[in-house]
Each structure stands twice: as structure tokens, then as C-alpha cells.
Amino acid sequence: MVPRWHTRIHRLFACKMNRDELLAQLEKARPQLLKMARLQLRNDAWAEDVVSDTIVTAIEKLDAFEGRSQFRTWVVAILKHKILDLFRRAGREVALPDVPEDSIDEEIFLPGGGFREPPRAWADPQELVREHQFMAILDACVERMPTAQGRVFLMREWLGLDTAEICKDLGITTSNLFVTLHRARLRLRECIQVNWLEQAS
């Protein structure tokens, strides 16, 4: 029979190994966390702060990680929570009091409501290689969105908030939000259109 102390030490050792491995994974996840925080917040100083805060919280709560989800998913969930907190505390400062000017509608449509240039059908990125290319374009296009549009768009698409929550957190009206989301989505489509067609041909 194995003595009790042996089992206990063994368990302690296994636990420590696990902890070191998780810490290493945490360090590895940092650039990705920073990238997402920058995209969402559009402010490098806030992004650095919120990611440091996330890593500290993750280390403190490491024992609470039960391995039911992927580790990175768990850390990203903490990051999202921290960012949401920041928006709720600083909502009115980061919000857009007025919808900034954006001529995207005029760029696409004639005054009568028809297309300036007829849209072309996109090649559907079915195969994995094409999918990676599309993803890279999507990434770059989201990054290129104007500040206010990008923030609101990612609150919707990445933080996964519904429109009522975004209005409340940022203290903006529903119509402002919808105009901003509309323009963000059209900008994204326009940006992908240019880059994806170049790739496809």
C-alpha cells in the first residue's frame, strides 16, 4: 500500500506542474489579449492596463480554473469582463456624443438610391487556405475602422452585447447606435470588397 504522504506529495507536485504550465500559457496568450484589447478600446494605454489587470486576476484565480473550458477561452472571458467594467465606469467619456461624419453611404450610393458601382459576387472562402486569407483581411479591416465605429462594432461582435446594453453602457441613443453600426458594417464590407476581390483575381 502506498503511504498517504506519498499520494499527497504526488498530488502537490502534479498541481504545481499544472500551475507552471498554465502560467506559461498565460504568457503566451498575452500578445493576443493585447491585440483584442487594443482593437476594442482603441487606446494603447487602456489596453495595456486592462491586459495587466487580466493577467493578475487570472494568476490569482488560477486555482479556480477547472479545465472545463479551454484555458485561453477562460482568460479571454476575464479580459472581456474587465473591458466591460471599464466601459461601464468610463462610458460617457469613451462614448461619442455625436455621430461623427462618415460619407460611406454617399461613397456607395447615388443620390437616387442606386449603386454607384454594381456590387460583384464574392468568392466564397470555402477551403481552409482561402479562409485564412479572408480572416487576415477581416482582421485588417476591423483594425482600420474609425475609432467610434470600431468600439461600438466590437462591443456588439466581440463582447457580444445586445444593442440596448451598448446604449446604456455608453449613454448613447438607439438611433446613434444604429447609424454607427450601419456605417461600421458598410465600411467593413467595402474594405473586404476591395481586398478580397484583389486576392480572388
Partner 1 sequence: MKIHLTCKESVELIVASEDRPLTGSERTALRFHLWMCRNCPKVEQQMQIIRRMLDRWKAPDETGK
- Residues near partner 1 (CB under 8 A) are 70, 72-73, 76, 105, 108-109, 112-115, 118-122, 124-125, 131, 134-135, 138-139, 142, 156-158, 160, 163, 178, 181-182, 185-186, 188-189, 192-193
Name the residue nearer to partner 1 (CB basis): 38 or 189. 189
- Cell numbers for 71: 484555458
Residue 83 and residue 54 in contact, taking contact as beta carbons nearer than 8 Å: no
Of 3 and 114, the one with the shorter C-beta distance to partner 1 is: 114
CB 196 within 8 A of CB 120: no
Strand partners, 115: 109
> Which helix (DSSP H) or strand (DSSP E) does residue 78 occupy?
helix 71-94
The residue among 142 and 148 lying less far from partner 1, judged by its C-beta, is 142
Any idea how long the chain is?
A: 201
Provide, rounded to whole angstroms, the least separation between the CB of residue 125 and partner 1: 7
Nearest distance in Å: CB 115, partner 1: 5
Instruction: Name the minimum Å distance from CB 179 to partner 1.
Output: 10
Question: How near is the Cβ of 72 to partner 1 at its closest, in Å?
Answer: 5
Nearest in space to 40 (alpha carbons), one of 100, 97, 85, 104: 85
Report CA dihedral (123, 129, 134, 136) to the nearest 10 degrees: -160
Cβ proximity to partner 1, 39 vs 55, nearer residue: 39
